[in-house]
Structure 1
Amino acid sequence: RWMRFVCSVMSAANLNLGQDVEHHHHNESCARTRTHIIEAKEFYDEESKTIDAIGEKTTEMPDLSGHLSLKSLILRQNFIPKIVNLSSLTELTHLDLYENAFSKIEGLKQLTSLTWLDLSFNGIRTIEGLDTLSEIVELYFVNCKIKEISNLGHLKKMTLLELGANRIRKIENLEGLDNLEQLWLGKNKIQHIEGLDTLVNLRRLDVQSNRIVDIGNGLKCLINLTELYMSHNGISKIEGLQTLVRLTTLDLGANKIEKLDNLQTLTLLEELWINDNKIASFDDLNPVRNCATLKTIYLERNPVQLNSVPALYKTTILNLFPTLTQLDALPLPSGRGRIEE
């Protein structure tokens, strides 16, 4: 199961530990203010034509004038405040600037061979400066400050777009992305599923951890979708999935669902995540009982699981779904749909 973000907060157990944490942050802040520029040649691999300088605390983009045939530039986890010095890298195909210190997309105009771009964990507010990058296949903007999906329609070859953990309120401006296969929009502020009708080749859609209450009909055109992730929303009714006949993975965990309605057409379903909902009885599972392909089902922390004797719960579920190879977090013996009593 895809887990794009893990956020952990650790508290100081005593005063000394608290002082250590404060000292660490003070040192990191000082590192940002000191100038430190790396020598590109020290990180260059001739065979792969790659510069890989992860976490070197460089405060500026290095001089790359001696590496005109560079294919891959990896400068993630540094303190670079501005994208510069790249105009001569016309053969560059892979650019990774994940977790730096810039807030504006610029300096990429000449990188017309670029196919892979990661600008995640920066202060970017607006998607811009990509007009000439028509060869882009994968594009990542995780955990920025983006409020609007825009200026992407010309990226005709793009197959993956990652916009998780931003400030997006509306799914829009995706027309023209006919080859898009993966769209990741988890952890935003989206209220409605919309603006997806033209994405007929989409295979994976993630809208986890948003503000969606009703599924509606916004998915009806995604006839090639195989994986759908909608956990941690406020959905109370399953609807609008009838046309998704190729779906193999459906994640509806941590919603407010009471019944498994409108799933009868999903005859290829292999994984169903319905944990942390309001399924109260075994009878509520009948709509997917005849799904012969179902291998994994998660029902943890539903009333049907919490209010049942554990042995009876397992036995009943496995009688309903004899093809299961996993129930909740428990893998079942290979080739068997039963748990030994």
Structure 2
Amino acid sequence: SESAHQQQAIGTYTYQKMNTSSDAQTVQPPPLPVEWTQINKDESCGRPYRIPSDAMEYSQDETEVCIVGTAGKKITYMGRDLLKTCPKVERLILRSHLIIKMEGLDTDDSKMELLELYDNQIEALENLDDVGPNLRVLDMSYNMIRDMMPVSLCPNLVELYLANNKIKTMTGLSSLVKLKKIDLGANRIRVMEESELSGLPDLEELWLGKNKIERIGGISKLSKLRRLDVQANRLTSVDNLEGQNLTLEELYLSHNAITVEGLGGLSLEFPNLSTLDISRNRLTNTIPISHLTSIEDLWLSGNEIKDFESIESLSNLGNLGCVYLEYNSIGDDFEYRKKVKQIMPSLNQIDAVPIRPSGFGDVSSIASRKVTGVLKPGISSSVEQLRDLQAQAIDLARSQEAEKKQAD
């Protein structure tokens, strides 16, 4: 019987019949379709040339042009005549495309107030000379930008988004006195530059999560700052927040290496602080934050809290409605939710599970609650709700035992 053996060589396929009467036969493969050879090539090699007008029809009178690449064709070039096709545009949004260069923004009469090129492949901020002075919002997040200095060409910016780029140093901010919000998260920034931040008197939100910052600084003159995010950095302590004592409302410090001793910077009152996230740090107790009575939402997940005595100080927080303590050792306790609620009676949510009136909504009433002998419906398979079910079963058994003794 005949057998066949297939050998693959570069550029050819060789089929050999293993018998003495036949020589090896070499067959050339069919040619690839031309368009396959053009994928991911630049313009000189046939990179697909697709501009905004190829992806969507719009008129010269449009005041907003919004084209999202996830919903259709991917734009590869903005086009050198972009603003000639929509001279009245005030909001230009080209999100999630394959644009590699900022172009087509030349104009003598720019009306553009918002420019969003979120999620493209842009490597440089450029061609902002004409549109920059009128911009109020610039969103260049999720690109490959390394230098942010050209934002200085946008003196009227109110919101600036440059998250998820490759920026190492804060630059170009010092003259943007109207800024209220900056997002520089997920970059490579190591220092909060005072020379860049101190000249922003109206700044209300500063988002710097997921960088390489080792110390909070440069914000002493930001007297209107309400939200500060420095999570997922390299902090070991919280410092230099004196200038925000009366204004700070939300502070995000999760995923750092902050210890109890490192929370000394929170010793002031912070009367307006409503949200504090210090999850995934190295805290062993909550004493340093026990005076922050305005807190409503407190995140302490994933620390090193080993017993309920370590969180007794949270009983001072009369406005606390939600606390996250999961992924601490105390979370393994059989009566975890019940004990946490006893320490903080004002709670309406523990971890991601709301406290129901039938659960631990009022711990003081559990002992006197009359159990009818039927467990409450709606219990699902989540761990916290199973604990609730177990607690109900215990109460039911105790109640039945008490009724039996009374009957005897």
TM-score, normalised relative to structure 2: 0.72
Higher mean C-alpha displacement, 110-119 vs 38-47: 38-47
Separation of aligned partners in 2, 1:154 and 1:262: 37
Q: Which has the higher contact order (CA 8 A, sep 6+)?
A: 1
Partner of 1:248: 274
The letter of the residue matching 2:205 is Q
Partner of 1:106: 126
Change (3 A) 1:326 1:337: farther
Separation of aligned partners in 2, 1:337 and 1:166: 46
Is 1:274 equivalent to 2:274 in the alignment?
A: no
Separation of aligned partners in 2, 1:31 and 1:139: 32
Is 1:288 equivalent to 2:307 in the alignment?
A: no
Higher mean C-alpha displacement, 277-286 vs 53-62: 53-62
Match of 2:211 among 188, 192, 210: 188
Secondary structure in 1 aligned to 2:264? Answer: coil
Partner of 1:179: 202
Partner of 1:222: 244
Separation of aligned partners in 2, 1:67 and 1:190: 42
Partner of 1:58: 75
Secondary structure in 1 aligned to 2:115? Answer: strand
Separation of aligned partners in 1, 2:166 and 2:278: 26
The letter of the residue matching 1:75 is L
What is the deviation of 1:201? 0.8
Is 1:82 equivalent to 2:123 in the alignment?
A: no
Secondary structure in 2 aligned to 1:75? Answer: strand
Separation of aligned partners in 2, 1:133 and 1:206: 24
Match of 1:152 among 160, 167, 173: 173
Separation of aligned partners in 1, 2:112 and 2:142: 22
The letter of the residue matching 1:114 is L
What is the deviation of 1:337? 4.6
| Cα shift readout 1:238-274 (whole Å, capped 9, x = no counterpart) | 2211222211000011111101122233111001100
Q: Is the 8 A contact 2:61 2:89 kept in 1?
A: no
Separation of aligned partners in 2, 1:59 and 1:327: 48
The letter of the residue matching 2:51 is I
Match of 1:239 among 242, 264, 288: 264
Q: Is the 8 A contact 1:226 1:248 kept in 2?
A: yes
Is 1:204 equivalent to 2:227 in the alignment?
A: yes
| Structure 2 unaligned blocks of 5 or more | 1-35, 364-387, 393-408
How large is the Cα RMSD of the aligned pairs? 2.3
Secondary structure in 1 aligned to 2:338? Answer: helix
The letter of the residue matching 1:70 is V
Separation of aligned partners in 2, 1:128 and 1:146: 10
| Structure 1 unaligned blocks of 5 or more | 1-25
Secondary structure in 2 aligned to 1:286? Answer: helix
Q: Is the 8 A contact 1:54 1:77 kept in 2?
A: yes
Separation of aligned partners in 1, 2:252 and 2:235: 12
Partner of 1:96: 116
Match of 1:313 among 328, 336, 359: 336
Partner of 1:30: 40
Separation of aligned partners in 2, 1:125 and 1:65: 29
What is the deviation of 1:305? 1.6
Partner of 1:3: none
The letter of the residue matching 1:198 is K
Separation of aligned partners in 1, 2:318 and 2:38: 55
Secondary structure in 2 aligned to 1:288? Answer: helix
Separation of aligned partners in 1, 2:274 and 2:38: 45
Match of 2:152 among 131, 144, 148: 131
Change (3 A) 1:189 1:228: same
The sequence identity of aligned pairs, in percent, is 35
Aligned length, in residue pairs: 312
Q: Is the 8 A contact 1:58 1:78 kept in 2?
A: yes
The letter of the residue matching 1:30 is N
Q: Is the 8 A contact 1:203 1:225 kept in 2?
A: yes
More helix per residue: 1 or 2? 2
Q: Is the 8 A contact 1:289 1:321 kept in 2?
A: yes
Q: Is the 8 A contact 2:291 2:317 kept in 1?
A: no
Match of 1:141 among 151, 162, 170: 162
| Cα shift readout 1:177-205 (whole Å, capped 9, x = no counterpart) | 11111111111111111111111111111
TM-score, normalised relative to structure 1: 0.85
Secondary structure in 1 aligned to 2:138? Answer: strand
Secondary structure in 2 aligned to 1:153? Answer: coil
What is the deviation of 1:37? 2.5
Change (3 A) 1:28 1:120: farther
Q: Which has more radius of gyration? A: 2
Change (3 A) 1:46 1:121: same
The letter of the residue matching 1:258 is T
Higher mean C-alpha displacement, 50-59 vs 172-181: 50-59
What is the deviation of 1:150? 1.3
Separation of aligned partners in 2, 1:319 and 1:264: 16
Separation of aligned partners in 2, 1:67 and 1:219: 46
Q: Is the 8 A contact 1:321 1:337 kept in 2?
A: no
